[in-house]
Structure 1
């Protein structure tokens, strides 16, 4: 594990946190604008929502490549590459003449933004391990969560006062600025690039080693089911709250920001607790909170409480739990693979991305006049996360104690 001064550690966490903001900026600003974009492109909100599925599908596919490429060529060149694609695809999406073109370029933006999370985790694993890695991942996600709080508010204002392309233009500018920041301030951490990591035999061997590892499987699936709950909320909440409940895009942006604030607070608390407890206990608390949030949302939906509060309040509880689960399950999945952290980071992100894309696409096929379908699915996803924790992670923890 590399020793850092306080100043070096602070700068590293801030840089990696900003890199991880590609995701929140890429979709959280966009979501409040979905009805406006539908009007601007003369299409339906459900079709515009398919672009969210596209970005998560691109996210899942992109994760397969970023890690192995960064193991071979170094983290910095790949970071600059994905930032360039991010800015160009956002600009192209803003110029879309129809929804099909929008979906196409949002897919490529998803390919790029996946690198933010994958490469920040890989750099963190280059430098730290065990509970220290878990704390640094929580700190990185805390910085990234600031964007998740601010982005929906910005999205709400752009949706109300500016043309529908504005959110995409904002993303392009953000990507360009982060490119400049990393070009001049980031120092390469993977100085021992492995020349054979891209050879097919070695690559497939590494993939097999990682994907057949029980620890990797359990952490990835537990975290994936919880993250899929957030992705479902991102995909359909605007349709329900704005379209069905009649809330303005600006007000929705503040509601979304409230949920994101719960994630911000959760990552801060989680980063303080992980070195005192353990990764597994942090995951356990997060899964319990996810179950409480999912159960509360479903109960309110069954009682036919058709208000934004019936969605935002329980989702805040769920997201608070996700803030415990997400960084700790990433750290747990990467822990066995210090030599191929990039590939491991890619694969755990791929698993999560595919799960999220499947949930998001399925949701786009149904009408969302109320929150029942969303609430039921989030409840079931929390139950699945609890099963993989109880019979996977916890059993493995007891076995290795």
Structure 2
């Protein structure tokens, strides 16, 4: 479906698709400043509250593989509606949670629901817009998603202070309902259901295995996922590090989180400019080397008690800048070999990225020390392991397929 789209229609579609892609990030970022308040209310500690974030990451990871086949078999809107309804119900449940166990479980289902929005939005970009415009559309959606870490934590900090942490989930419920209504009224069905597609495990698994046996895909998907796990580590560990170790308030933490996110979002846009002169495969190793160096410096400073708040902010900013270069280029190169199985490849890439991120998030949440060592150690490991995978994996790629003009793939 690639009909002529007027400028006003284009803007409106970008707004709806952008809201769909931002739903998951908003659900993560908005409640982070409320960690201490949630811990106090539920009779636990901030580190344990981190497991509600881990369960969200697991839900998003599982949802990548769940929704791909459903969107192809039943069209885009029916699975999307089902996901948004699940998201709204789970958000209401989170608002009324009285135990950490119920919050962890409900956050998992909230993630499964939000994942439908993200996966459907990416698929609909390919359906609705001409292929030549897809890169520009994805870049615009990346800017919308980039607003989440800059706006959501700051809003969440003020809402938590003024009305309590439950109000954050009320806002997310209302946001989900508004997006559902917008999709129902104004978003077109962009794909005719393919009833011939099988949802049996064997053909689905066969497609996924075909993707995983491609050396180029495996190398760049794993390197990209290990590198991007640094984001999950930072998101999981930063509430404790900033609000407990360095004693900043929820509002200040929100502004710090917003400021640091500029590094990741800004460099992902600078990357588009660099690609006019350099190839993705040239940018990735340099960015990973710098990411590893920033990770090692963070760990060294934490172990030697030299990690002041100022130094932490500088090194974290540098670390996140590196991710802005790694993520879009690894995503482009691992999808480049696929013309037919692009959907399966995208789903596997997203599942790897979010699955490894869930593991690092759980690792940071599981270690209870009164300092920044668990977070900085994991950040260093993410960078170094990604660099090692890249250097080793490249030896097994016989002929590398290039993709010019790489842009971040939204998950």
Equivalent pair of 1:125/1:334 in contact (CA under 8 Å): no
The range that moved more, 164-173 or 288-297, is 288-297
Counterparts in 2 of 1:275 and 1:31: CA distance versus 1, 3 Å: same
Aligned length: 401
Equivalent pair of 1:135/1:274 in contact (CA under 8 Å): no
Number of the residue aligned with 2:40: 39
Q: Equivalent residues in 2 for 1:281-360 (5 A)?
A: 281-360=282-361
Q: CA deviation at 1:327?
A: 3.0
Counterparts in 2 of 1:127 and 1:275: CA distance versus 1, 3 Å: farther
Q: CA deviation at 1:265?
A: 1.3
Number of the residue aligned with 1:20: 21
Q: CA deviation at 1:111?
A: 1.5
Q: CA deviation at 1:100?
A: 1.2
Number of the residue aligned with 1:259: 260
User: Residue 142 in 1 paired to residue 143 in 2?
Assistant: yes
User: Residue 74 in 1 paired to residue 75 in 2?
Assistant: yes
Give the TM-score, by structure 2 length: 0.87
Which structure 1 segments of 5+ residues have no match? none
Counterparts in 2 of 1:10 and 1:221: CA distance versus 1, 3 Å: farther
Counterparts of 1:191 and 1:277, CA distance in 2: 39
Counterparts of 1:40 and 1:48, CA distance in 2: 11
The range that moved more, 120-129 or 278-287, is 120-129
The range that moved more, 218-227 or 278-287, is 278-287
Counterparts in 2 of 1:200 and 1:324: CA distance versus 1, 3 Å: same
Counterparts of 1:183 and 1:281, CA distance in 2: 44
Q: CA deviation at 1:29?
A: 0.8
Equivalent pair of 1:126/1:341 in contact (CA under 8 Å): no
Cα shift readout 1:150-187 (whole Å, capped 9, x = no counterpart): 01111211222221211111211111112222223323
Q: CA deviation at 1:86?
A: 1.5
Q: CA deviation at 1:82?
A: 1.6
Q: CA deviation at 1:394?
A: 8.3
Counterparts of 1:91 and 1:135, CA distance in 2: 36
Number of the residue aligned with 1:167: 168
Counterparts in 2 of 1:272 and 1:119: CA distance versus 1, 3 Å: farther
Cα shift readout 1:97-134 (whole Å, capped 9, x = no counterpart): 21111111011112122334433333345578999756
Q: CA deviation at 1:36?
A: 0.2
Residue aligned with 1:305, SS: coil
Give the TM-score, by structure 1 length: 0.89
Cα shift readout 1:327-385 (whole Å, capped 9, x = no counterpart): 33333333344444433322211111211111111222212422222112111211122
Q: CA deviation at 1:73?
A: 1.5
Q: CA deviation at 1:139?
A: 3.4
Equivalent pair of 1:61/1:111 in contact (CA under 8 Å): yes
Counterparts of 1:148 and 1:398, CA distance in 2: 38
Residue aligned with 1:21, SS: helix
Number of the residue aligned with 1:100: 101
Equivalent pair of 1:64/1:347 in contact (CA under 8 Å): yes
Counterparts of 1:15 and 1:370, CA distance in 2: 41
Equivalent pair of 1:72/1:195 in contact (CA under 8 Å): yes
Q: CA deviation at 1:397?
A: 8.5
Counterparts in 2 of 1:16 and 1:203: CA distance versus 1, 3 Å: same
Counterparts of 2:291 and 2:275, CA distance in 1: 18
